[in-house]
Chain A
Amino acid sequence: MSRAKGLLVAVDGVNGVSVKTAARAALAGADRARRGGVSAWDASGIFEELAVADEEEGAGTPSARTLLLLYAADLVFRLRWEIQPALAERRVVVAAPYVDTAVAFGRAAGISGGWLTNLFSFAPAPSVRHYVDAAAAKAKSDRQGYVEFCCERLPGTPQAPTRQELMDRARLQLKAVARRR
């Protein structure tokens, strides 16, 4: 008799609050006995510490590339401690956000697709993908997502010269990815 495999569900979007809500809904849709939980970004605490460190004068603003390297490090942590253990127990685990959100941010900031593909090549493909098409939060206190966090720090890039343009561009990139999937 075959046993059910673990299921990795990716929920991606630029609006952090909407992604959280969608992640909870995706998990609630799974059989109660198989619910493994939601793996959210910054489980490792890297970004929380970064937010403290970059308030200190002279530390310098991180670039999009640096923020992506840190996201990848955080994702390795999530895979090690949250996602893979749940999958090994044949549970449903929701990664919110997963790879596509970071790739959309990177593309919006002008980073090449090849570099991003290599960066996240360690991450297994999800079994199911959900995309949340909601704009980044207007109020600063509601900006809880990875893209929102990054755009708070990056005042803009040559491709998207303001924070708002950068967030909008990331949303468009993600929509394009969702259409291709």
Chain B
Amino acid sequence: MSASAGRLPRQRAREHFKDPSRRRGLLVAFEGPDGSGKTTQRKLFKTWLQAEGYDVVSTKWNSSDLIKPLIRSRKAVRALNPEEFSLLHAADFRHRVEHVILPALWAGKLVLADRFLFTALARDAARGLDLDWVLKLYQPLVWPDLVFYFSVSPITSGKRVTATRTPNFYEAGQDVTSVDDPVESYQRFIGRVIREYDSLAMIFNFITVDAEQSITEQHRQIRELFRAGERRPWIEWNVDAVAEWLAQKKGKPR
């Protein structure tokens, strides 16, 4: 976006999110490998937040009405290579940013994201893609106020996931491991994904929750950490994403 076109929306974005007279939208992301229990925690947390008076909007990974069907049909026939997989998920994410996440934040709501762009970074890097290339696909970045990372070992993740079902082809990473047995493939692939997550947790300063603890203990910890973190100032990095969204909104009616 050119500097002159971007100036006004950037200014509006800053003023809106830094205005102390209005309740600021908050973005909280739940991240972690499959079987880490983050969805359970996200649901418990949502119930608690609503009881506390927050207006909560949830968004899940790969869930946009527009892009999800494109991904689903290609996954069903195992037609995606790592780059296509990555690009389609980035498109799904962008669409949700523009149609779910930013509108809710602008309206002062609390957005709970069950997986965020870090899922793409961990999985795509585990598939051998360049992390820098992937991160740039997601620009302009929308940075969460808080990221809870549910940390489990590859063994725990494998046990929890395979206790009730067989992992699907892409979940098991069979597109890159070339292992026929989905359970064995999952075990190998999730080890790589968790290594990437652990690195991301350090780089991006996630709040790590020991997901091997009891559900109740994790929930208690999340409430406490949320209380401590909710008064953080608005993240200036988000100004580009909000400005682009505002500019698009302005361009739409003509």
Contact = CB atoms under 8 A, between A and B. Distances in A.
Interface residues of B, number: 33
B124 to A, nearest CB: 13
Contacts of A156: 251-252, 254
A121 B1 contact: no
A61 B95 CA distance: 8
Given A66-B91, A73-B84, A118 B5 contact: no
Nearest to B73: A49
A63 B65 contact: no
Contacts of A46: 70
Nearest to A52: B69
Contacts of B81: 76, 80
B95 A76 contact: no
B215 interface: no
Interface in B211-254: 244, 247-248, 250-254
B5 A110 contact: yes
Residue among A73, A77, A115 with the highest chain B CB neighbour number at 10 A: A73
A59 B251 CA distance: 19
Interface size class of A (residues with CB under 8 A): 35 or more
Interface in A29-63: 44, 46, 49-50, 53-54, 56, 58-63
A155 B136 CA distance: 26
Given A53-B70, A60-B95, A158 B87 contact: no
A69 B99 contact: no
Interface in B80-115: 81, 83-84, 87-88, 90-91, 94-95, 98-99
B242 to A, nearest CB: 14
A110 B247 contact: yes
Contacts of A110: 1-2, 5, 247
Interface string A55-95: 01011111101100110110011001000000000000000
A59 B254 contact: no
A28 interface: no
B50 interface: no
Interface string A100-136: 0000000000111001001101100000000000000
Contacts of B65: 53, 56, 58-60
A63 B98 CA distance: 8
A156 to B, nearest CB: 5
Contacts of A60: 64-66, 95, 98-99
B136 A53 contact: no
List the 3 shortest-distance A-B pairs measured between CB atoms, nearest first: A73-B87, A69-B91, A60-B99
29 contacts: A46-B70, A50-B66, A58-B65, A59-B66, A62-B91, A63-B95, A65-B244, A66-B94, A66-B95, A66-B98, A69-B94, A70-B67, A70-B88, A72-B87, A73-B83, A76-B84, A77-B84, A80-B81, A110-B1, A110-B2, A110-B5, A110-B247, A118-B133, A118-B136, A118-B137, A119-B137, A156-B252, A158-B5, A158-B251
